[in-house]
Structure 1
Amino acid sequence: MRSIDYFDRGHDLDPARTALIDVATGESHTFAEVKARTEQIAAALYKHGFGNQQPLAIFAPNSAVAMILLLACWRANAQWIPVNTRNAVDANAQYLAYVECEWMIYDSSLEKQVEEMRATCPKLTNLICIDELDSFIGDTTADDFTPPEVDAFGNLDELVGIIPTGGTTGPSKGAMVTNLGWGTMVETAAAEMDQRTDNPVSLVVAPITHAAGPVALATMSFGATQVILPGFDAAKVLSCIAEHRVSHMYLPPTALYSLLGSSGIEEHDTSSLRIFILVGSPVSPEKLRIAVETFGPCMCQCYGQVECPMVITWLSPEVVAEAASGYKPERLASCGKPTSSIQVALLDDDGNPVAEGEPGEICVRGPLVSKGYFKKLEATEEVRQHGWHHTGDVARADAEGFLYIVDRKKDMVVSGGFNVFTTEVEAAITQLPQVRECAVIGVPHPKWGEAVHAVVVGDGVDEAQIIAHAKDRLGSVKAPKTVEFVSEIPRTAAGKPDKKALRVVHWGKNARMVN
């Protein structure tokens, strides 16, 4: 099916149910109102010359309007171009030029950035400010909307969007995500999240332009109300959970850590939570155990990437709760088992399966996989070797099929000829209650080539304690040789620890950040 068909599925369950609540403005909209508004916007786009399957950028912070615009984009059968408000202007301009985007709807608070981007993107000629949306729509009504032609399969090969990859190692590539792949993701995610409450309410906190958008669509497909916050604030998140009886929530692990460190967290009623998904980067097993104690048996994880979105694996709340209680506690470090939507193999550099328990690259095959990178044939071919899509993530599998991500290939530290997976070191260090966050990188060393270096956010702990703790759990090779304390760890626009930025401090402008 097409992306918008999943919203319409939720609409058809109960058109009068509240679909969106904007916490910042207090406004709310029913499913029927949202559907009519998206039809009105789509009709106005076509009236002003927009074409079927053209790229359409949406540049706005989280709000009910931003969610409506995203749905209207899919209603018009546009190719969604997410523009992250956390990105540098140059990065956004470079991406818009790369995907040849001509149309953008933007928030007035970002007008200065839009003008700067327009100056370097000659094709970006159709700009619509949200403040002027009513004027753009004019007398167009929902009845004026004529849906683009749909075939009996739901236009499976057409694009939902050209979605930027993380860009932590260079300019973002555009993953061409089809209706087939997007629909597979939505249906797989919804199957795991649905049927857990009679009143599903989903809290949207992370950027809609990132994983929060697809999570929202998946929950809307079974009729969930979306409670939208403009950004992450631990106190407001906790208040919203209690006030709106939130049942479903997605956050990256770093935001979870902030919640767990909030003063007065025990004063908020979070008993309504049924699904609290962690996505985006590995989570500290110890922090996950504490999260189960704090929020109950709702914690879960999934693993994916833009090229194969969101649900390559799933670690259910039931498995997490059992592990937190002491039954196979090692599974707190797992990202779960492969879902029914994808075939997964752990392969060596020659494309051969690795032995059980040995690390290998996660390679996937199936309808979840994106069409490839926009106008980057060589880059697409590079990740599609041996008949698989190569994720670039390294994992091992246990006898029961649970996967344990040990690193990104490029994040692996090679010290004295030994491979050190940085996530393993980070997991050990964050067991210390005084450590709130940790990022491990390799730094140049004259004897070992690279040395393990830990960047830590924490209080009441010193370098010697951290090194001793890690050495006790991992041995001397994997333990950090140096520890750096910072007030915060830099992040990419997607909210992940920016290890590239951390490496530059030690490697300078070297073309290679390995020895």
Structure 2
Amino acid sequence: MSPVDHLDKGASLGAGAVCLAGPGRTMTYAEVQDHSYAVAGALARSGVAPGESVAILSHNDVTAFATMFGIARRGAVWCPVNPRGTAAETRQLLDLFDCRCLVFHPAYAEQVAEMAPHLPKVTVFVCLDDSVEGYPSLERWTADGPDADAARPLPEGLAMLVGTGGTTGEPKGVMLTAGNLEAMTALTLIGYPFEGRPTYLALTPLTHAAGVLCFPVLALGGRILVMSTPDVGEFLRLIGSERVTHTFLPPTVIYALLDHERAATTDYSSLQCLWYGAAPMSPTRLEEAIGLMGPVLGQLFGQTEAPMMIATMHPRDHVDPDGRVLAHRLSAAGRPGPLVTVAVMGEDGRTVAAGERGEIVVRGSLVMAGYYKDPAATAEASRFGWHHTGDIGFLDEEGFLHVVDRAKDMIITGGFNVYSAEVEQALMEHPAIADCAVVGLPDDRWGERVTAVLQLRPGAALEGAGVIAFGKERLGSVKAPKQVEIWPDLPRSRVGKVLKSEVRRRLV
């Protein structure tokens, strides 16, 4: 099933039901279908053939997301562009992906004007409205209306090209097929609670995890509420007023939610599942969230190359039958799903026993088709017949997968391996710490010294010596930080992940 197949499935359950809703616009399933045929026809008239790449540059927007279904209807390849990227980053990706068409929100007109002279492969530029001179508006571009003859299947099943920086910082294009998306949808529907027609609230970028999580919701005829700006207070208001059943938040946004003045007074009774993932979450704050909202948090573990569902952790996995939080489970990433095979592998390519640490590897229909025009990177990622995630972890005796660190973030100090994520989770138990990043810095004595950079909660005060003592109590002297820095904010990527490379750069 391609993205448009998920839309059509939802429409078959009620074409008049609301599909997408956001500031200024609401569209039913029938209206999104008509829009998709109109976009497919416009692409055909513009010379964009099935299998060619079409990018959308926009923040969260109902019309922009609806246009994605037209790309799929044409049999073209959707290239979601990070709206927080620089013009240089976006231009590099569009060129790498051989994009023929760029649809953009007027808010990015200056960026498009800067990029356009350097994008010879892009032959069609379309603005979502008519406010930008020199480019056709989406309405004018699609004025000839729906065109059923322009609809085509996806050649070779390729549905999406998604950019990822990888370990070198050079962008790579992850090729995701309709089969990958179908496997992700199936694993989502199998692994988490869904009752009735869901209402899904999208606060984080639809170009990333929040977007592909729409597909299982659409397959059930659900409603997608699109937030154009990431406002935690408005998010909490909508949870109650719109009776939201499903949503996704990375840990950093959950921390902000827990500290918000409205958190304690919000009605969470409609929530069936609040997915969390994309970065490790503090078990202490996870337990706090469960106490606030009830047992509705569900973890997902995946990556762009194997989207979202390598392992799933149902809300009920967080608690015992009496509703008591299972503290020992809160550091797990979930159980491998029924449609994927997950193992932990040593450097020699042999899988290791339960409890032993190594690189997490995966097989199955969830795994990408490869990196676009990069056979060397594809071969490197698929050594020994498995997809290599680059994450270090282990499987416990209950079959739960634990992610202890990214391989590149492991610290070797005094001859011992220290996993930065383990230190971060221990430090996050301190009530004054809102977030932290642990890195290894060069040290003449230890090889690398464990260094913690902290972001404190509002109004909190803390000294480095106290943090070191706190760490030693929980981790021992080897793993405890030997250097502590306190910053007002941690550097983050455009999707909210802490940038450890930037932390190291500032410290060295």
Aligned to 1:465: 466
Question: Does the CA-based 8 Å contact 1:323-1:330 persist in structure 2?
Answer: no
- Deviations along 1:334-371, whole A, 9 cap, x unmatched? 00000011101100011111232121100011111111
Give 1:261 deviation, angstroms: 0.6
Any gaps of 5 or more consecutive residues in structure 1?
508-515
The answer as to 2:351 corresponding to 1:353 is yes
Query: What residue is the counterpart of 2:175 in the other structure?
Result: 176
Task: Verify: 1:134 aligned to 2:162, yes or no.
Answer: no
Q: Which of residues 221, 235, 238 in structure 2 aligns to 1:237?
A: 235
User: Is contact 2:197-2:220 (8 Å) kept?
Assistant: no
User: Cα gap change, 1:33/1:323 in structure 2, threshold over 3 Å: closer, same or farther?
Assistant: same
**Aligned-partner residue type, residue 210 of structure 1:** H
Please state how far the C-alpha of 1:420 moved relative to its aligned partner.
0.7
Letter in 2 for 1:159: L
Work out whether residues 471 and 480 of structure 2, in 8 Å CA contact, stay in contact via their aligned partners in 1: yes
- The superposition leaves residues 381-428 of structure 1 with CA deviations (integer Å, 9 ceiling, x where unpaired) of 111111111000011111011011000000111111111111101110
- 1:155-181 alpha-carbon deviations (Å, 9 max, x no partner): 683211111124464122101111111
In the TM superposition, residue 488 of structure 1 has moved relative to its aligned partner by 1.4
* Structure 1 match to 2:149: 146
Match of 1:188 in 2: 187
Q: Output aligned runs, 1:17-416, within 5 Å.
A: 17-22=17-22, 24-25=23-24, 27-131=25-129, 132-138=137-143, 140-142=144-146, 144-150=147-153, 157-167=156-166, 169-193=168-192, 195-196=194-195, 198-322=196-320, 326=324, 328-416=326-414
The answer as to whether partners of 1:157 and 1:180 remain within 8 angstroms in 2 is no
Q: Deviations over 1:182-205 (max 9, x none)?
A: 111112112334533x24110011
Which stretch shifts more, 31-40 or 387-396? Answer: 31-40
| Whole-angstrom CA distance in 1 between matches of 2:328 and 2:150 | 50
The whole-number CA distance in structure 1 between the counterparts of 2:306 and 2:100 is 26
CA offsets, 1:93-130, max 9 Å, x none?
A: 11111111121000011011112222332212311111
Letter in 2 for 1:21: A
Change (3 A) 1:291 1:421: same
Structure 1 residues 392 and 324: alpha-carbon distance in aligned structure 2, compared to 1, 3 A threshold: farther
1:2 and 2:2 aligned: yes
Aligned residues: 498
1:148 deviates by: 4.0
Q: Distance in 1 between matches of 2:46 and 2:385?
A: 43
Partner of 1:12: 12
Comparing 442-451 with 245-254, greater Cα deviation is found at 442-451
Q: Supply the distance in 2 between the matched residues of 1:350 and 1:454 (Cα, whole angstroms).
A: 32
Structure 1 149/57 Cα, relative in aligned 2: closer, same or farther at 3 Å? closer
In the alignment, residue 149 of structure 2 is paired with which amino acid?
A: T
**Cα offset, 1:11, TM superposition:** 1.2
Q: What is the SS of the residue equivalent to 2:295? A: coil
What is the DSSP-based 3-state SS (H/G/I as helix, E as strand, rest coil) of the residue aligned with 1:146? helix
User: What SS does the aligned partner of 2:233 have?
Assistant: helix
- Any idea what SS the aligned residue of 1:58 has? strand
Alignment check: 8 A CA contact 2:361 2:389 kept: yes
1:136 maps to amino acid: W
Could you tell me whether the CA contact under 8 Å between 2:103 and 2:128 is conserved in 1? yes
* 3-state SS of 1:162 partner: strand
d(CA) in 1 for partners of 2:323, 2:463: 30
Match of 2:132 in 1: none
Q: 1:322 to 1:490 in 2, by over 3 A?
A: farther
**Are 1:324 and 1:332, in contact at CA under 8 Å, matched by a contact in 2?**
no
Q: Distance in 2 between matches of 1:489 and 1:86?
A: 17
Checking the alignment, whether the CA contact within 8 Å between 2:344 and 2:359 is kept in structure 1 is yes
* Inter-CA distance 169–258: structure 2 relative to 1 (3 Å threshold): farther
Residue 498 of structure 1 is matched in structure 2 by 499
Structure 1 CA distance, aligned partners of 2:326 and 2:186?
29
Q: Secondary structure at the match of 1:270?
A: coil
Closer, same or farther: CA 493–171 of 1 in aligned 2, 3 Å: farther
Partners of 2:155 and 2:292 lie apart in 1 by 42
Provide TM-score, normalisation by structure 1: 0.94
Distance, in Å, in 1 between the alignment partners of 2:120 and 2:156 is: 29
Q: In 2, distance between residues paired with 1:322 and 1:482?
A: 39
The range that moved more, 393-402 or 462-471, is 462-471
Q: Is the 8 A contact 1:279 1:301 kept in 2?
A: yes
User: Could you report, residue by residue, the CA deviation over 1:21-45 in whole angstroms, capped at 9, with x for unpaired residues?
Assistant: 10x32x2111111111111111111
User: For the residues of structure 2 that align with 1:353 and 1:227, how far apart are their CA atoms?
Assistant: 43
Distance change >3 Å, CA 309–CA 121, structure 1 → 2: same
CA positional deviation for 1:322? 3.3
Whole-angstrom CA distance in 1 between matches of 2:106 and 2:273: 34
Contact kept, 8 Å, 1:232 with 1:255, in 2: the verdict is: no
3-state SS, counterpart of residue 160 of structure 1: strand
Please say if residues 87 and 115 of structure 2, whose CA atoms lie closer than 8 Å, have aligned partners that are also in contact: yes
Letter aligned with residue 137 of structure 1 = T
1:331 Cα deviation from its structure 2 partner: 0.7
Shift of 1:264: 2.8
| Residue in structure 2 matched with residue 511 of structure 1 by the alignment | none
- SS of equivalent to 2:451: strand
Given that 2:319 and 2:326 are in contact with CA atoms closer than 8 Å, whether structure 1 keeps it comes out as no
Residue of structure 1 equivalent to 2:133: none
C-alpha contact 1:257 1:287 (8 A) present in aligned 2: yes
User: Deviation at 1:92?
Assistant: 1.2
8 Å contact from structure 2 (residues 300, 334) kept in 1: yes
Q: Which amino acid aligns with 1:506?
A: L
Amino acid in the other structure paired with 2:15: P
Q: Which amino acid aligns with 1:352?
A: R
Higher mean C-alpha deviation, range 6-15 or range 307-316: 6-15
Residue 324 of structure 1 and its aligned partner are, at CA, apart by 11
- Asked if the contact 2:4–2:69 (Cα under 8 Å) also holds between the matched residues in 1, the reply is yes
Q: Which secondary structure does the structure 2 equivalent of 1:157 belong to?
A: helix
More moved, 63-72 vs 345-354: 63-72
Query: Secondary structure of the equivalent of 2:310?
Result: strand
Q: How much does 1:219 deviate?
A: 1.1
Percent identity reads 36
Q: Where does structure 1 differ by over 6 angstroms across 4 or more consecutive aligned residues?
A: none
